[in-house]
Structure 1
């Protein structure tokens, strides 16, 4: 049966902030309702906990080391195969955040380092790689996307985070509500006394009405595409991508103080661990008053900062939940819910106070690597409310979508379809996952940008780092907070070496296989 896809993705969400993943605060009734009616993955983890490369992995079904977007700042090649649904006749739309290309105009690293070679190993596939750059939109009020864009025929971009998004959103705000176009951003925000994150520029109380906030605009544009889909009567893939609850936090209107920081409970890991060296370094920076708190990078936070981030992040999430509710109401109104698969996920997690950390960085705690994943399918509506504990990866999403659509996958796609699990059939489960990370920043006390690999099994998490002799090893069953690093424990030496050998095998299994070699004579 031909089906439609309505794919919701949010940015930087700790899975446990959802009620269906254990949050006792009723902040997300709509998303929780999707889980109650659908299928929920309990152990879905990223290919990498960084935005651009993991979004590229979601669309390609390939690891960052293979599709080439190793970290933020490297656009996905326009030669990457991301258009199989479009080729099969689907109407394809991308609404909101894309982040498959760079949003800033910062130069490559070699331009800032005299010791780096100026030429790269490969020339870019031809095309325009400045379509998501904010300066492109600022320089040309009439700029238009070159379509199709990574397989999407219709694109409406919101570039950036909080209420200061650029792209099509800003153009719409300037044209339709010019009285608010100059009131976005921190410099025009409303007073918010007592908030530490406001001082750091990581939050502000938006002066934009909630109905004009980028989150509401993304829902509006998604609804418009649903109405267009009913008129076209073609199968559709509608990718509705919210740029929140990523920092800086700007939940609008009543959502700013919907939750109070003092009511937020600290994660159980906050006071419970013996930190590995790089986490100890972050805490030492904080305790010495040297923590950098005004960038996108993670830092060791105070209890007050964590509680603020949790409250404001939850406010942003509740606002998103309400907007998703609006979209689903129209889906039902148009009768499209009867043949539309609805998916909800995030591009990666968020520390949200786990181990005293905020935001994201090169520590693969499950608060960062684990993402929510919900699939509601009208074909299996009678089996709603099921939870699956298989190990799933971001790279498994694309082949699952393709199998559901009846489309053959391409050579080089590394993920495995988990559609058999969704429809209740037995499947060969993964017993290990590979997580990659290539950092841009030199921090954590390292003398070079962080490069690491993680092996995740149902029982253990092993993380190794380039250039250092130590690593991380945790027993996930005995120590779910990952508070006790067993790397140097003599009794775990055999386990450690077995996991290192398995990590090597997984890295080998995820090397490139495309294009296929010439047939032997």
Structure 2
């Protein structure tokens, strides 16, 4: 009897902002992502559980919040809390393999210092980034064959953090134009490897069962290095500062303002930010065009109608919002809200929108549900299949939270405990070492005014603190024992 379970193509970008592919967002060209949204379902309230690469990717793999899998910061750093995931944790990938799926993987990993995709059931097809892992040398060999070895080209228009934004001897590399051809970019290479995998599946070279392929693009994470035509696709003079650029940090935790110096961007003016943002947008469009090539390959091989396509990002990027660079202990939507589009032929294929709050790691349960595989008890993950089957709304008989929960445990500078709960209207951030935050997202979508002590928001503050404690209870958050005393006025009935 033929296996009728769908194939899954999962495309994960690295540090892609939600607004870049949103209809109401900036003028970034994303035809392939728009194609997925128009021919599938776009999730308007999708959030990462944590705005750190390794932690978010580990959550995606295990279906757990970071405190549940223990990889609290980046695994490649010398201060990593956990370099590799515990071997006894269930992962969606291993469950799929056990259920007869053929798994393949291209691109960035960054969910274990020593572990590789092969340790979790994937056949790895190349394209890793040696800053975070060194699984193979496939991309380097590819560039050598094309006559432009990695590290031998002279970059143009380079921007760095620090006192002199044009001095590469100090600071962090932010953006540049590269003289290489598009075909020599890592994005093109990863798309090519993914297309090869799709063709192999179509030809039966990898068996006749359903497949799951994961393509992890290294970008638009900094440095935003792009070739023409993407390097000059967006004119910095035509980019307007976002509303968040008016940030004063008044009434905010001190670490927010400190991070300007920590990241080396305290002296960046808008002209410099606009130049960097133009490259970031160009990077998004470059990746989008590679996604378009992948979608075309699905069509050409005849696999499109039997393949669920998912696009998401591990987390966002400040890219000048709140005058910040990269990410950190600032739980704004710029880094916590993520793009998510799912096309499921015959089920979710008519351009619907979902306004229900969801998490990135809900995809772990979703992938298993698509494959008719039971969801492990340890998952903090709920399947999106009922929402996909019901036009974007949670079915009446399915309990669905009205909020999302996120956390932060520290990055390069040391431990720093944060928890966040967000509804459609409010966001509450618990900052263990400093003042908490409360934002009215209807009145202040840019999250500029901290209302934590505003008397007119006493009820909202109590309600959001109660929601936070419920999330911590439900997920066995180890900080749960300390938070009630710190929050004080949080006892409300949310039933």
Q: Which residue of 2 aligns with 1:445?
A: none
Partner deviation per Cα, 1:355-393 (whole Å, 9 max, x = no partner): 222221111111110001000011225x51111111101
Q: Does 1:457 align with 2:438?
A: no
Q: Which residue of 1 aligns with 2:488?
A: none
Partner deviation per Cα, 1:405-424 (whole Å, 9 max, x = no partner): 11111120111112111112
Q: CA RMSD in A?
A: 2.6
Q: Distance in 1 between matches of 2:138 and 2:23?
A: 32
Q: Does 1:47 align with 2:18?
A: no
Q: Which residue of 2 aligns with 1:320?
A: 287
Does the aligned pair in 2 maintain the 1:189–1:205 contact within 8 Å?
no
Q: Distance in 1 between matches of 2:255 and 2:406?
A: 23
Query: 412, 422, 425: which one pairs with 1:441?
Result: 412
Instruction: Decide whether aligned partners of structure 1 residues 61 and 21 sit closer, same or farther in structure 2, where only a CA change above 3 A counts.
Output: farther
Q: Which residue of 1 aligns with 2:230?
A: 255
Q: Does 1:70 align with 2:59?
A: no
Q: Distance in 1 between matches of 2:166 and 2:383?
A: 43
- Cα deviation, residue 429, structure 1: 2.5
The 5 Å alignment of 1:390-405 reads 390-405=356-371
SS in 2 for 1:40: strand
SS in 2 for 1:380: coil
Q: Which residue of 2 aligns with 1:343?
A: 310
Does the aligned pair in 2 maintain the 1:283–1:300 contact within 8 Å?
no
Q: Distance in 1 between matches of 2:123 and 2:290?
A: 24
Q: Does 1:17 align with 2:20?
A: yes
Does the aligned pair in 2 maintain the 1:170–1:181 contact within 8 Å?
no
- Cα deviation, residue 449, structure 1: 2.8
Partner deviation per Cα, 1:1-36 (whole Å, 9 max, x = no partner): 410001111000111111x34235251111111101
Partner deviation per Cα, 1:186-214 (whole Å, 9 max, x = no partner): xx423327898554521232243220111
Q: Which residue of 2 aligns with 1:113?
A: none
Does the aligned pair in 1 maintain the 2:55–2:71 contact within 8 Å?
yes
Q: Which residue of 2 aligns with 1:172?
A: 141
Q: Distance in 1 between matches of 2:35 and 2:416?
A: 39
Does the aligned pair in 1 maintain the 2:249–2:256 contact within 8 Å?
no
Instruction: Decide whether aligned partners of structure 1 residues 204 and 283 sit closer, same or farther in structure 2, where only a CA change above 3 A counts.
Output: same
Instruction: Decide whether aligned partners of structure 1 residues 407 and 265 sit closer, same or farther in structure 2, where only a CA change above 3 A counts.
Output: same
Q: Does 1:156 align with 2:126?
A: yes
Does the aligned pair in 2 maintain the 1:222–1:327 contact within 8 Å?
yes
SS in 2 for 1:269: helix
Q: Distance in 1 between matches of 2:255 and 2:407?
A: 22
SS in 1 for 2:346: helix
Instruction: Decide whether aligned partners of structure 1 residues 21 and 198 sit closer, same or farther in structure 2, where only a CA change above 3 A counts.
Output: farther
Q: Which residue of 1 aligns with 2:59?
A: 57
- Cα deviation, residue 78, structure 1: 3.9
Unaligned ranges ≥5, structure 2: 76-81, 479-495
Q: Does 1:209 align with 2:184?
A: no
The 5 Å alignment of 1:360-509 reads 360-380=327-347, 383-424=349-390, 426=395, 427-442=398-413, 449-468=415-434, 470-509=435-474
Does the aligned pair in 2 maintain the 1:97–1:160 contact within 8 Å?
no
Does the aligned pair in 1 maintain the 2:54–2:71 contact within 8 Å?
yes
Q: Distance in 1 between matches of 2:130 and 2:310?
A: 23
Does the aligned pair in 2 maintain the 1:455–1:461 contact within 8 Å?
yes
Does the aligned pair in 1 maintain the 2:176–2:224 contact within 8 Å?
yes
Q: Does 1:234 align with 2:209?
A: yes
Please give the TM-score of this superposition, normalised by the length of structure 1.
0.81
Structure 1 stretches of 4+ with a deviation exceeding 3 A read: 164-171, 193-200, 272-278, 280-286, 298-301
Q: Which residue of 1 aligns with 2:475?
A: 510
Instruction: Decide whether aligned partners of structure 1 residues 399 and 197 sit closer, same or farther in structure 2, where only a CA change above 3 A counts.
Output: farther
Q: Which residue of 2 aligns with 1:136?
A: none
Q: Distance in 2 between matches of 1:408 and 1:193?
A: 49
- Cα deviation, residue 463, structure 1: 0.6
How many residues of Structure 1 are paired with residues of Structure 2 in the alignment?
451
